Amino acid sequence: MKCTIGIDLGSTTTKAVVLDMQENVLGRGITNSRSNYDVACDVARTEALLDARFNLFRSGIVGFQQIVGDVDAFTEALRQGFRLQQHLETLRELESTCGHLAGILFTGQELEKVKALYDGVFGAMVIEAEQLFAIDAKRRSDFFRDIAGSSYMKLVDLAAADAGLSFERLLGVYDKAILLVEAHVFKVDLTKVLGLSLRRALDSAGVAQEAHAEFFDVVHHVATVDLDLVVTVGTGYGRARLPFPKEWIRSEILCHGLGAHATFPNTRTVLDIGGQDTKAIQVDGDGIVTSFQMNDRCAAGCGRYLGYIADEMNLGLHELGPLAQTSTSTVKINSTCTVFAGAELRDRLAAGQKREDILAGLHRAIILRAMSLLARSGGIDNEFTFTGGVANNAAAVDALRKLVEENYGEITLNISPSSIYTGAHGAAIFAVREALHPTVLDRVSDKTNEAVLAGGTL
């Protein structure tokens, strides 16, 4: 089937959205941007296409409801199984890379010790992974880097001292290895891996053996269906790095405006808080941008700030919001300077202020910065949509709701659960338009075209 894809290369995460030619969302994918945008782009695209296949799977088993009960839950079980397989494969790669690097960095008896340590550590990581990807398990993060990183640190920290090895040196091995592993795009035998995952899900759901064949037929279909990506439009901070013709690259401003408009057609103002910048965008009734402002050179108050705070508090990024929401008395914070984030936090904790109250203050401070940017762009006088990673943070949303009301009165505030994909969604719509009314395709050499479409089908 013909489809298009929009890819949003953000500073922290890379997102992709696949649309059919009627602009319906088929699938979404996300990954951490890492140091290599090309790989991030590949991974996000692969994830989005996979997601599209899972969604097709879900549609394919709607008729089997009496067999599996909850169709969504069953599809999710299939995804979990698939992710586990992917994770385990990546883990094997990490183990061999670490082993290889250790062979370079350590010698003699020390190397033997490292090898023994790694046997234990990676064995434990596999067991941990099985638990992390259990059918109904919740994870701090879905990114391999985060999951593997935290368990490696924990396990090596425990084992290094006993083995008389330097924790820092072993950490150094990991830091190098993860870059190499992340730069590697894994080729997956979809039919095989999906088959394995399906068996696990069927067993776990207790589906009778005689019904299995029908499910395998569906899996076979979704694993082999041709997803023909006719146009790819790139956006986001790293868009210039994409090997696309210029017309296939759109600024994130236009994409966020259009994406927000597609989700909430009455949107007139869009606020996007991403990892490294914040944007306030005004759009008209067709989703066309009429003006915009981006945060100034000082990136204080962007999403990344929350990342620093989470690190400093040793929390997962998505744990910050819920904790802040338990606050009963917001602490007033005047500076959201990332440079001073750690010091500010320690000062306040030392002064006896509660974590949740400080966090509530930090969330308000971030949204205050965004409010200034909104004012710079022309303010809010109609339906308002909040997008970007920070829109997933409930405490930030609470603060925004309050401040918008204080400053602009009653305003409809839209937040989509998939708000982080808004830019990619807008890009994908541009791609559909480009596919229907090509401005470049005829001008693009076959070679470029091939390069762009490479990896378009799994």
Partner 1 sequence: MSQNLDVDAKPSIEKEESMFVQKKMIADHFDRLANAKESGKKVVYTFVPGNLTELMLSFDTLPVLPEINALQAGMRKMSGEYIAEAERHGHSEDVCTYVKCDIGMMLKGNIGPTGQKIPDPDLLLLSYTGCFTFLKWFELLRDRYPNCPVAMLHVPYQGEGEYTPEMVKYVVEQLKREIIPKFEKVTGTSFNEGALKELLANSALAENDLVWVLEAAKNPVSPIDSYFGGVYYIGPIFTSFRGTPGAVAYYKQLRKEVEARVEAGEGPITPDGPMGEQKFRIVVEGPPNWTSFREFWKMFYDEGAVVVASTYTKVGGVYERGFRHDPEKPLETLAEYCLGCYTNLNLPDRVGMIANYVKEYNADGFLMNSVKSCNSFSSGQLVMLREVEKRTGRAGAFIETDLVDPRYFSASNVKNRLESYFQMLAQKRAAAQAEVMA
Partner 2 sequence: MELEQINALSMEELLTKCEAVCLDFNFTTVREWKAENPGQKAMGFLPTYVPRELIHAAGMLPVGVLGADDSLEIVRGDACFQSYICHLPRSVVELGMTGRLDCIDGMLFPSTCDVIRNLSGIWKMQFPDKLSLYFDAPQNFDMDIGGKFYRVVLDEIWAHMLKLNGSTATNDDLLASIALYNLNRRLCAEVYDMRAARPWVATASEVYILMRAGMLLPVEQHNVYLARYLELAEAETKAGNRREMDNARVVISGSFCEQPPLALVRTLERAGCYVVEDDYMMITRWLGCGVPVEGDALHNLVQSYMDYKGESAAKFVPDGCKKGTELIGRIGSTNAEGVLFSAPSFCDPALLDQPMLQEALDRVGISHTAFKYSENTGQLQPIRERAGTFADTIKLWGEA
Among partner 2, partner 1, none, what binds residue 289 when CB lies within 5 to 8 Å by partner kind?
Answer: partner 1
C-alpha distance from residue 358 to each of 35, 122, 150, 340, 395 (Å): 32, 38, 25, 14, 12
280 binds partner 1 (CB under 8 A): no
Among residues 55, 150, 204, 251, the one that binds partner 1 under rule CB under 8 A:
251
376 binds partner 2 (CB under 8 A): yes
Instruction: Give yes or no for a contact between 420 and 387, defined as CB atoms under 8 angstroms apart.
Output: yes
Decide: 375 and 367 in contact? Cβ < 8 Å. Answer: no
Q: Show the tokens assigned to 101.
A: 């690097």
Residue with structure tokens 């640190």? 153
Minimum Å gap between C-beta 232 and partner 1 is: 17
Burial 170-205 (b: 16+ CB within 10 A, else e): bbebbeebbeebbeeeeebebeebbbebbebbbeeb
Contact call for residue 252 and partner 1 (CB under 8 A) = yes
Question: Toward partner 2, which CB reaches closer, 296 or 311?
Answer: 296
DSSP letter at 410? S
> What is the DSSP annotation of 250-292?
--HHHHHHHHHHHHSTT--EEEEE-SS-EEEEEE-TTS-EEEE
Question: Is 378 one of the binding residues for partner 1 (CB under 8 A)?
Answer: yes
Q: Which of 24, 59, 65, 407 binds partner 2 (CB under 8 A)?
A: 407
Using the contact rule CB under 8 A, the part of the chain among 217-225, 248-256, 336-344, 447-455 near partner 2 is: 336-344
- Run of H or E including 208: none
Residue 13 or 295: the one with the smaller Cβ distance to partner 2 is 295
Tokens of 207: 């589906």
* CB of 335 vs partner 1, minimal distance in Å: 16
The reply to whether 154 sits near partner 1 by the rule CB under 8 A is no
Place of tokens 């075209």: 449
Which entry of partner 2, partner 1, none binds 344, CB below 5 to 8 A by partner kind? partner 2
Which span (77-85, 290-298, 388-396, 398-406) binds partner 1, by CB under 8 A? Answer: 290-298
Q: Which residue, 443, 28, 37, is CA-closest to 240?
A: 37
Neighbours of 222 (CB within 10 A): 23
Smallest gap from residue 282 Cβ to partner 2 (A): 14
Q: Which is nearer to partner 1, 173 or 254 (CB)?
A: 254
* Footprint (CB under 8 A) of partner 2, residues 280-309: 296-298, 300
Which residue's CB is nearer to partner 2, number 62 or number 350?
350
Give yes or no for residue 436 binding partner 1 (CB under 8 A).
no
Q: Where are the beta strands (DSSP E) in 64-217?
A: none
Query: In the set 171, 185, 315, 375, which binds partner 2 (CB under 8 A)?
Result: 375
Nearer to partner 2, 344 or 434 (CB): 344
**Binding of residue 381 to partner 1 (CB under 8 A):** no
Does residue number 455 form part of the binding site for partner 1 (CB under 8 A)?
no
Would strands 413-414 and 384-387 be described as parallel, antiparallel, or unpaired? parallel
**Is 373 a residue that touches partner 2 (CB under 8 A)?**
yes
Determine if 334 is a binding residue for partner 2 (CB under 8 A). yes
Q: How many CB atoms lie within 10 A of CB 157?
A: 12
Nearer to partner 2, 332 or 437 (CB): 332
**Chain residues 179-238 in contact with partner 2, contact rule CB under 8 A:** none
User: What are all long-range contacts of 439-446, with beta carbons under 8 Å and residues at least 24 apart?
Assistant: 439/247, 440/245, 440/247, 440/248, 441/231, 443/245, 444/245
Residues 6+ apart with CB under 8 A from 91: 122, 125, 126, 129, 148
The binding site for partner 2 (CB under 8 A) comprises 296-298, 300, 332-335, 340, 343-344, 347, 368-369, 371-373, 375-376, 403, 407
Residues that bind partner 1 (CB under 8 A): 237, 240, 250-254, 284, 286, 288-294, 296-297, 376, 378
